[in-house]
Structures are given as structure tokens and as C-alpha cells.
Chain A
Amino acid sequence: MLNESPTESIETIAQPEVLRAARELAKVLADTEEYRAFEQADQELRQDEAAQRAIREYQKRQQTLRGMIALGVLGDAERAELNRLRQEVHQQPSVVRYSDRQARLAGLCQAVGDALSRQIGMDFAAACGSGGCC
């Protein structure tokens, strides 16, 4: 996770100063086109009744079939039903918009994360330990 050591500073910066710089970064990120577009899509999705209904139906069915999914014994009919419900979710225009804008925001966050990682000599996102695929 760690790369080569940067030059050691003689004077150290106190933690509140670091957190202040973090808040400053959050502030400018919140002002980007990517973030504003995402926030708008998020709001639209929350207010879209049809999309919310499709999401609820998919999640409800997925919940009831969770045991079978975990055991790997999902039948063809149940699998087809789940796929149909998932497709219904992904066909909702507000869901498509949300996914697209989230991807654009993720692109910006990744670019910022990469820049941070290069400068601190450590994989910032990996060190956060949040989310992840594993």
C-alpha cells in the first residue's frame, strides 16, 4: 500500500489543520458540475414514485429469495423473475440518469483520489477501507 518515502518535514501539522484542508476539498468538490448533477439526479430519483416502486419490488423479492440465492438453489422461474424486476429498475429514466451521474462523479473522485495517493505515497482509497468489492 505504501510507496517510497517522501522527504520528512521538520515541522509537523496538527490534525485539526489537516481536517480543515479536507473540509476545503469537500467544499470545492461540492461546487463541481459533476457533484451538482449527481445531487440533482439523486433528488429526482428519490421523488420518482415509479422508480421507487420498482426498486422496492425488486428489493422485496430479492429479500424473500435471499436464502435460496445464498444456497445457490434459485430455480429458473425465480431467476427470470428477479432479472425482470432488475431490468424494470434499470429501465427507469431516473435510475439511468442517477447511474450515469454517479459514474461521472466517481470519475472525478477517482482522479482526486489518485492525485492524493501520488502525493502522500499511499493508496488513499484503499487505506479508507470503505466500500470495496471484496
Chain B
Amino acid sequence: MNRTPKSIPSDVQAATQSLAASMSSAEPFVGYWRAERTLNEDRPAQQLLHDLAAAQAEVRRRQYDNRLSEEELRHLRSLQEAVQSSSSISEHTAAQQRVIALVREVNQEISQLLGIDFGSLAKRAGCC
């Protein structure tokens, strides 16, 4: 289902650019980029996320081999708690949720007027 038109009509292009500019300047996006920068600059938080990802991968591996120990589970839980108590990580997660909520509202607005799910049609095939 990918018959991309040769070019987007100029009025559609202008409206697309206008919407993108509005979205980028809306508080959820501005807040998101701020949270992204804060998180990128927070070295301990970065390390925590790295350690959590490694621990999660290890637990999955151990579960698969049926060799998961209580201690490994405790280690994973303590990392999860540390991640939850990191202000830069939780603010980043909250900011990301606000951005996604705005994107979904925008999609709903477009979809309602067109009587189609714009987001579904705009999705490129082959996500799995």
C-alpha cells in the first residue's frame, strides 16, 4: 500500500509545515527537548539506564536457561527503584508521554475531519 505521490501538493505542504512548526513550538515538545537535554547531561542517570538495560538482558537470558537467582532479581529491582527515583529520568518519561499525547490529539483532530485514521494510513508498512 505504498503509492507515494510524486510530490505533495503545495497547499498540503504549506499546511504540513505550519502544523509541524506549531507542534515544535508547543509546550509538550519544548518541555520534551529540555528534558532530553537534561537527561543527556546527567551522567549517573545515563549509567543507571545502561546498567538497567544490561540487568534486564541478563535476567531474560537467565530465565531462558532456567538459572535465574534471587540475588539477580534483587539487583534488577534495586536498579528499577533507582531509575524510578531519578528525577531526570522520570521527568523525561513524563515529558515523552505529554508529547505522545499531543501527537495523538493532533491525529484525532485530523482523522475526525477526514473520517479516516490518518495515523494508520501514514504508517509505513513493515514495522515488525
Question: Residues of A at under 8 Å CB distance from B?
Answer: 2, 5-6, 8-9, 11-15, 17-19, 21-32, 34-35, 38, 102-116, 119-122, 124-134
Contact = CB atoms under 8 A, between A and B. Distances in A.
Interface string B91-128: 00000100110111111011111101111111111111
Interface of B: 1-5, 8-9, 11-27, 29-30, 32-34, 36-37, 96, 99-100, 102-107, 109-114, 116-128
A11 B14 CA distance: 22
Contacts of A2: 32, 36, 96
B25 A12 contact: yes
Nearest to B9: A32
Contacts of A129: 100, 104, 119
13 contacts: A5-B36, A8-B30, A8-B33, A9-B24, A18-B102, A19-B109, A22-B19, A22-B106, A22-B110, A29-B118, A108-B5, A110-B2, A124-B107
Contacts of B125: 133
B40 to A, nearest CB: 9
A103 B3 contact: yes
A15 B5 contact: no
Contacts of A38: 116
A112 B122 contact: yes
Given A5-B37, A15-B26, A115-B20, A124 B119 contact: yes
B22 A13 contact: yes
A29 B20 contact: no
B80 to A, nearest CB: 22
A6 B104 contact: no
Nearest to B103: A127
Given A35-B114, A115-B8, A124-B103, A26 B109 contact: yes
B8 to A, nearest CB: 5
Contact of A130 (B3, B4, B23, B117): B117
B107 A130 contact: yes
Contact of A110 (B24, B33, B116, B122): B122
Given A18-B106, A35-B114, A134 B128 contact: yes
Contacts of B110: 22-23, 25-26, 29
A21 B18 CA distance: 7
A27 B110 CA distance: 8
Given A5-B37, A125-B123, A120 B109 contact: no
